């Protein structure tokens, strides 16, 4: 068994059974893998869970990829659409992406879905 540290990521490799286990630094949670980049530049991620809208998505080196703008698809393995901060690189396809846990950077929504204005009545 050997261990090596790369960019605050610890990777443990079991050579006997060829099983790889990655344990990340505390505070990062694996969101899933990038499936594709859409024509409008948004990044499609096959997620392991449904993240909150507005959550910041980072890559393995903790560089910001973008923010979650939409979650759709099946409940067990949903898709998340991430609006990138800049132009996404094609090398991002297949890469594992993460969200930072702890202090939530997601936009909080109330029960009215962001509509804080009063509804006008028709008389």
**Residue among 76, 29, 78 nearest 57 (CA):** 29
Higher pLDDT, 107 or 91: 91
Percent of the chain with pLDDT over 90: 51
Write down the pLDDT at residue 120: 65
pTM of the model: 0.63
Write down the pLDDT at residue 57: 95
In order of their start, the domains of the chain are: 28-100 (2.40.10.230)
In the predicted structure, residue 123 carries a pLDDT above the cut 70? no
Q: Which of 15-29, 40-54, 88-102 has the highest mean pLDDT?
A: 40-54
Higher pLDDT, 105 or 102: 102
Contact 95, 33 (CB under 8 A): yes
Q: Which pairing describes strands 96-100 and 19-24: parallel, antiparallel, or unpaired?
A: unpaired
Q: Work out the pLDDT band at 54, boundaries 50, 70, 90.
A: very high
**Range of lowest pLDDT (17-26, 63-72, 73-82):** 17-26
Token pair belonging to 52: 């909150």
Sheet-wide strand order for 9-14: 2-6, 9-14, 19-24
């Amino acid at each position: 068994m050997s261990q090596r540290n790369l960019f605050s990521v610890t990777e443990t490799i079991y050579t006997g059974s060829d099983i790889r286990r990655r344990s990340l630094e505390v505070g990062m949670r694996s969101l899933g893998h990038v499936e594709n980049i859409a024509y409008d530049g948004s990044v499609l991620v096959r997620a392991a869970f449904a993240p909150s809208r507005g959550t910041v998505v980072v890559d393995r080196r903790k560089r910001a990829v973008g923010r979650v703008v939409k979650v759709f698809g099946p409940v067990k393995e949903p898709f998340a659409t991430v609006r990138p901060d800049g132009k996404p690189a094609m090398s991002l396809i297949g890469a594992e992406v993460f969200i930072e846990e702890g202090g939530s950077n997601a936009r909080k929504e109330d029960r009215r879905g962001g509509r804080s204005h009063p509804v006008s009545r028709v008389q």
